[in-house]
C-alpha cells in the first residue's frame, strides 16, 4: 500500500489556516449584525424624532387655529363684518379697538408675523400693523410675484375654514397663511376673513431642535403637494408626492448618487404629511467604524496565524513522521497490490497497518468462535443420532450445559407449507422462532441445548431427576410455547418428547423415542406426544385372511352393512386391544383398502376406486370413528354399483382403448387428445363413450395405469426421477403430485414402506 508523502503535513497546515479563516466569517457575521442593530436603532430614533416633530408642528398649527377661532368669535369682528358701505365714526372706533386688541394679544410671542381681519364690504384690513385698505396692506407686507394682488384679493373673498397655504414674503422667505371666514354674516357671503401669517422658520426651528444629525432632511407636504417648510429644492422630486406617500411606511430614495431612507407620518391637525429623509451612510457609519477595526484585527490575526501555523505544523508532524518510518521499517515486503491500491495519507496508511494487525487477530477469534458453535451443533447432532460411544470423545467438552443427571429430548415439528423458495425461507424463519422461544421458556427451568435436524428443531433438556414433576414442568413449558407461537406468529407446532434417561448416554435413546412418537401424531390427533404415553403400543396388527375373505364375500353379495361391520371390528381390535403403533396402523389401512379393491375387481367395478379416489378419502389424520364411517360409505357405494352392473357385458371399444393405454402409457404425450386421434374420434366423444361403457374417466384411467406401473418400478428400487420418465411423466414434480393423489403417499414414502 503506497501513501502520499507529506499528505498529513498539508492537511495539518490547511486545518490551521481554516481555523484562522473562522474569525473572518465571525467578523462578517458580527459586522452584519452590527449594521442591522445600527439600522434598527436609527429607525427607532427616526420614529421618535418624527413623533416629536409631528407633535411640535401639530401644536403650532392647533395654536394658530385656536387664535383664528378666538378672533372670529370676537363681537367687534362680527359687528364690523355686517356693516355695508363705509364705516361710521363708531365703526372706526371699533376698528381701532380691534386693532388694539390684536396688537395687545401678544401674537409676536407666538412667532406670528402678522394677524389681520379683512372686511370685504369695505375692502378694509385691520391688522397688528394698523388699519388700511387691502391694496395698501398687500403692497406693504405681501407683495410678491408668486402671489399677485388680484389673486390675494380673490383668495380672501372666498370661504375658508382653517385653510393653510404657503406663500412667500417680499424678501422671498417661505411663510404660511392660516385663514378662516367669519362665522356671522347677514350678507349671505363671506364679509370678513381672519388671517394669521407665520414664517416657515417657526417649523424649521422645531425640526432643527429635534434632529440628531444635520444631514437629515425633513419635508412637510400639504394635500396640494406643496412644501411648507424650508428645504433644499433639489430634494423635491417626482418620487416624493403627497398621494404616493403612505403614513407609517418606509421607502428607499436615491438622489444624486446618494441613498436615503424615508419615513412618513401624517399630521393630526392639518392635511399634512411629514417626511424624514436620512442618508444611509449616517446609519451605517457606526458599523463602518466597527468594520474597519475588525478588518485590521483580522488581517493581523491572519498574518500572525500563518507564521504560527507553519511552526505548529512542523512541530506536530515530526512525531507522526517518526512513527511512519518505524512502521515502514517493520513492514513485510508485500507489493502484490501496491500498484492497484489508491494512495492514502500517513494517518490512513498507519490505520490500515493497525487494522490489518487487529483484523488478523479478530478473524482468528471469530473463526474460533464460529468453529466452536459449529462443533457444538455437530457434536450435539451426533449425540442425538448416535450412541455416546460413537458420538466422539469431545462431546462433553462441546456441550458443557448438559451437566444434569438425567436428560430428555424434545422434537418440534413445524406446520408444513407448500413447496417453493419462499416456503423454504418461511420454514427456516419458523424454525428460528421455535428455537428461540423454546430456548427462552425451557431455559427458565432447565439447562437446554438446541439444534436443527432437517425440518425439525431439537431440544435437549437437563433434569435433576426422573420424577414426574419435572415432566409436568416440561408439559407446561411446551403448552406455553405453543400458545405463544399460535397467538403471535400464527402457525402450529407439534411437540414430541422422548422418555427421561440418565446421563449423556441416555440422550440418543430419548431422541429415538421422540422420533418414534412422531408416527402417532396423525393417529392420536394431538400436538403434544410423550413417548411414555405410547411406548406400550403393539408392533403388528390383527387382520387374518378369513376376515378379509368375509369382507370380500359381503361385497360380492351386495351386503354393505355386513362388510362395514367386519371392517369396524378389525379397526377396533387393532386400536383398542392390540394398541397398534401408528406405522402399523397405517399399514393396516392400506391393507384394508387393498381388500376393497379386490372386492371391486371381483364384482367388475374396477373403475370405482379411480372415480372415488379412496386414498384421499381415508387419512391417518382422521379419528377412528371417522375412518369407520368412511369405510362404511365406500362399501355402500361399491355394493350399490356392483348391483347396478350385474348383467352388464363388456364392450369392444373400451377394451381396445385400455389395451392401447397399457401399451403406450410410457409415452409422455399420451393423453385424451392423442388417444382420440389414434381411434379417429374426437377427444370429447371418445371420453364420453369410455365413461359410459366402463364408468371410468379416461384421464384417470391413464393416470391409474401409470401409477400402477410406477409402483412396480419403485418396488424394484428405481429412483423417483427415473420412474417418472419411464411411466410417461415429463417431470418428477407432476409425477409426485399425481402419485400422491392416487395413492395417498408420495413415491419416496412408498419406497420407504417397501420391505
Kindly list the domain boundaries of the chain, sorted by start residue: 1-343, 374-534, 545-645, 652-753
- What's CA 232's distance to the chain center, in Å? 66
Confidence at residue 685, expressed as pLDDT on a 0 to 100 scale: 61
Confidence at residue 648, expressed as pLDDT on a 0 to 100 scale: 47
Closest CA to 679 of 700, 655, 695: 655
Reported as a pLDDT band with limits 50, 70 and 90, residue 57 is confident
Segment 60-88 mean pLDDT: 81
Helices vs strands, H then E, count in the chain: 28, 16
Confidence at residue 287, expressed as pLDDT on a 0 to 100 scale: 63
- Segment 223-245, tens digit of pLDDT: 888 887 767 666 666 667 777 78
Domain 374-534 fold is Alpha-Beta Plaits (3.30.70)
**Is residue 649 pLDDT above 60, yes or no?**
no
Q: Where does 110-199 have alpha helices with state H?
A: 134-141, 149-157
When mean pLDDT is compared over 177-181, 241-245, 396-400, 723-727, the highest value belongs to: 723-727
Confidence at residue 554, expressed as pLDDT on a 0 to 100 scale: 84
**CA separation for the pair 560, 579 (Å, rounded):** 27
Torsion of CA 691, 695, 697, 703, to 10 degrees: -130
More confident residue, 407 or 38: 407
Torsion of CA 525, 530, 531, 532, to 10 degrees: -110
- Segment 543-563, tens digit of pLDDT: 888 888 888 888 877 788 888
Segment 439-460 mean pLDDT: 88
Domain 1-343 fold is Beta-Lactamase (3.30.450)
**Is residue 483 pLDDT above 80, yes or no?**
yes
Strand order in the sheet with 217-222: 217-222, 272-279, 258-266, 250-255
Segment 193-198 mean pLDDT: 88
**Is residue 642 pLDDT above 60, yes or no?**
yes
**CA separation for the pair 518, 339 (Å, rounded):** 63
Its CATH class, for the domain covering 652-753, is mainly alpha
Question: Mean pLDDT across the chain, nearest whole number?
Answer: 79
- Segment 140-162, tens digit of pLDDT: 888 888 888 898 888 888 888 88
**CA separation for the pair 201, 214 (Å, rounded):** 16
More confident residue, 373 or 728: 728
The CB-side HSE value for 469 (13 A sphere, CA atoms) comes to 3
> Counting Cβ atoms within 10 Å, is residue 479 exposed (0-12), middle (13-18) or buried (19+)?
middle
50: number of Cβ within 10 Å: 19
**CA separation for the pair 211, 534 (Å, rounded):** 112
Confidence at residue 338, expressed as pLDDT on a 0 to 100 scale: 46
CB 341 within 8 A of CB 2: yes
Confidence at residue 436, expressed as pLDDT on a 0 to 100 scale: 92
Confidence at residue 427, expressed as pLDDT on a 0 to 100 scale: 82
- Segment 309-336, tens digit of pLDDT: 777 777 777 787 777 777 676 665 544 4
Segment 133-138 mean pLDDT: 87
**Is residue 185 pLDDT above 60, yes or no?**
no
- Segment 255-267, tens digit of pLDDT: 777 787 788 888 8
More confident residue, 507 or 335: 507
**Is residue 616 pLDDT above 60, yes or no?**
no
pTM of the model as a whole: 0.38
User: What's the angle, vertex CA 294, arms to CA 288 and CA 297, rounded to 5?
Assistant: 145
Ranges 169-178, 281-290, 326-335, 456-465: which has the least confidence: 326-335
Confidence at residue 335, expressed as pLDDT on a 0 to 100 scale: 44
Segment 382-399 mean pLDDT: 76
Ranges 21-30, 527-536, 693-702: which has the least confidence: 21-30
% of the chain with per-residue pLDDT over 70: 82
When mean pLDDT is compared over 87-91, 244-248, 712-716, the highest value belongs to: 712-716
**CA separation for the pair 343, 2 (Å, rounded):** 5
Coil/strand/helix, residue 373 = helix
Confidence at residue 680, expressed as pLDDT on a 0 to 100 scale: 66
Parallel/antiparallel/unpaired status of strands 130-133 and 447-453 = unpaired
User: What's the angle, vertex CA 396, arms to CA 532 and CA 371, rounded to 5?
Assistant: 115
**CA separation for the pair 464, 168 (Å, rounded):** 124
Segment 199-207 mean pLDDT: 80
Tracing cell 423454504 back to the chain, one arrives at: 424
More confident residue, 148 or 246: 148
Closest CA to 57 of 276, 236, 232: 276
Amino acid at each position: 500500500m503506497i501513501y502520499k508523502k507529506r499528505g498529513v503535513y498539508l492537511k495539518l497546515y490547511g486545518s490551521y489556516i481554516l481555523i484562522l479563516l473562522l474569525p473572518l466569517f465571525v467578523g462578517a457575521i458580527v459586522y452584519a449584525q452590527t449594521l442591522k442593530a445600527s439600522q434598527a436603532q436609527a429607525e427607532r430614533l427616526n420614529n421618535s424624532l418624527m413623533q416629536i416633530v409631528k407633535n411640535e408642528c401639530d401644536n403650532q398649527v392647533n395654536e394658530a387655529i385656536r387664535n383664528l377661532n378666538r378672533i372670529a368669535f370676537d363681537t367687534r369682528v362680527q359687528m364690523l363684518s355686517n356693516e355695508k358701505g363705509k364705516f361710521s365714526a363708531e365703526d372706526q372706533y371699533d376698528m381701532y379697538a380691534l386693532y388694539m386688541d390684536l396688537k395687545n394679544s401678544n401674537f409676536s410671542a407666538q412667532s406670528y408675523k402678522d394677524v389681520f381681519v379683512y372686511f370685504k364690504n369695505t375692502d378694509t384690513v385691520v391688522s397688528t400693523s394698523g388699519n388700511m385698505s387691502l391694496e395698501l396692506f398687500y403692497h406693504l407686507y405681501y407683495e410678491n410675484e408668486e402671489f399677485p394682488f388680484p389673486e390675494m384679493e380673490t383668495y380672501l373673498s372666498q370661504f375658508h375654514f382653517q385653510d393653510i397655504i404657503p406663500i412667500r414674503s417680499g424678501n422671498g422667505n417661505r411663510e404660511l397663511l392660516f385663514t378662516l371666514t367669519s362665522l356671522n354674516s347677514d350678507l349671505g357671503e363671506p364679509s370678513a376673513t381672519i388671517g394669521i401669517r407665520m414664517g416657515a422658520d417657526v417649523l424649521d426651528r422645531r425640526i432643527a431642535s429635534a434632529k440628531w444629525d444635520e444631514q437629515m432632511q425633513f419635508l412637510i407636504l400639504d394635500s396640494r403637494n406643496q412644501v411648507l417648510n424650508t428645504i433644499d429644492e433639489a430634494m423635491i422630486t417626482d418620487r416624493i408626492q403627497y398621494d404616493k406617500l403612505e403614513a407609517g411606511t418606509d421607502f428607499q430614495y436615491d438622489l444624486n448618487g446618494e441613498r436615503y431612507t424615508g419615513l412618513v407620518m401624517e399630521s393630526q391637525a392639518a392635511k399634512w404629511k411629514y417626511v424624514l429623509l436620512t442618508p444611509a451612510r449616517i446609519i451605517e457609519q457606526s458599523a463602518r467604524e466597527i468594520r474597519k477595526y475588525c478588518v485590521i484585527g483580522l488581517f493581523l490575526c491572519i498574518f500572525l496565524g500563518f507564521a504560527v501555523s507553519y511552526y505548529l505544523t512542523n512541530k506536530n508532524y515530526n512525531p507522526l513522521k517518526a512513527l511512519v518510518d518505524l512502521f515502514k521499517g517493520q513492514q513485510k515486503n508485500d507489493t502484490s497490490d501496491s500498484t492497484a491500491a489508491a494512495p492514502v495519507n500517513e494517518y490512513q496508511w498507519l490505520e490500515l497497518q493497525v487494522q490489518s494487525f487487529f483484523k488478523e487477530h479478530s478473524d482468528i477469534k471469530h473463526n474460533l468462535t464460529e468453529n466452536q458453535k459449529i462443533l457444538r451443533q455437530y457434536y450435539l447432532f451426533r449425540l442425538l443420532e448416535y450412541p455416546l460411544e460413537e458420538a466422539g470423545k469431545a462431546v462433553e467438552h462441546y456441550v458443557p450445559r448438559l451437566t444434569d443427571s438425567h436428560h430428555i429430548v424434545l422434537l418440534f415439528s413445524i406446520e408444513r407449507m407448500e413447496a417453493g423458495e419462499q416456503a423454504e425461507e418461511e420454514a427456516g424463519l419458523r424454525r428460528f422462532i421455535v428455537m428461540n422461544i423454546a430456548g427462552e421458556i425451557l431455559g427458565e427451568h432447565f439447562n437446554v441445548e438446541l439444534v436443527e435436524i432437517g425440518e425439525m428443531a431439537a431440544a435437549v433438556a437437563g433434569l435433576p431427576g426422573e420424577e414426574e414433576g419435572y415432566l409436568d414442568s416440561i408439559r407446561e413449558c411446551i403448552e406455553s410455547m405453543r400458545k405463544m407461537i399460535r397467538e403471535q406468529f400464527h402457525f402450529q407446532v407439534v411437540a414430541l418428547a422422548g422418555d427421561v434417561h440418565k446421563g449423556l448416554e441416555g440422550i440418543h435413546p430419548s431422541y429415538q423415542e421422540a422420533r418414534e412418537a412422531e408416527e402417532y401424531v396423525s393417529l392420536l390427533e394431538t400436538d403434544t406426544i410423550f413417548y411414555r404415553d405410547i411406548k406400550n403400543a403393539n408392533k403388528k396388527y390383527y387382520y387374518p385372511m378369513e376376515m378379509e375373505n368375509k369382507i370380500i364375500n359381503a361385497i360380492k353379495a351386495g351386503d354393505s352393512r355386513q362388510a362395514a361391520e367386519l371392517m369396524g371390528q378389525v379397526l377396533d381390535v387393532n386400536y383398542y386391544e392390540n394398541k397398534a403403533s401408528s406405522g402399523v396402523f397405517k399399514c393396516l389401512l392400506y391393507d384394508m383398502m387393498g381388500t376393497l379393491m379386490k372386492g371391486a375387481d371381483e364384482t367388475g367395478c374396477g373403475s370405482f376406486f379411480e372415480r372415488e379416489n379412496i386414498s384421499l378419502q381415508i387419512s391417518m389424520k382422521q379419528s377412528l370413528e371417522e375412518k369407520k364411517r368412511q369405510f362404511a360409505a365406500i362399501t355402500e357405494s361399491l355394493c350399490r354399483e356392483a348391483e347396478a352392473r350385474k348383467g352388464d357385458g363388456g364392450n369392444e371399444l373400451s377394451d381396445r382403448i385400455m389395451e392401447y393405454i397399457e401399451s403406450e402409457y410410457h409415452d409422455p404425450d399420451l393423453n385424451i387428445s392423442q388417444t382420440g386421434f389414434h381411434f379417429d374420434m374426437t377427444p370429447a366423444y371418445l371420453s364420453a363413450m369410455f365413461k359410459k361403457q366402463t364408468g371410468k374417466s379416461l384421464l384417470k384411467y391413464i393416470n391409474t395405469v401409470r401409477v400402477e406401473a410406477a409402483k412396480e418400478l419403485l418396488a424394484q428400487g428405481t429412483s423417483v426421477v427415473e420412474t417418472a420418465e419411464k411411466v410417461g411423466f415429463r417431470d418428477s414434480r407432476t409425477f409426485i403430485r399425481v402419485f400422491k393423489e392416487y395413492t395417498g403417499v408420495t413415491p419416496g414414502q412408498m419406497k420407504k414402506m417397501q420391505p
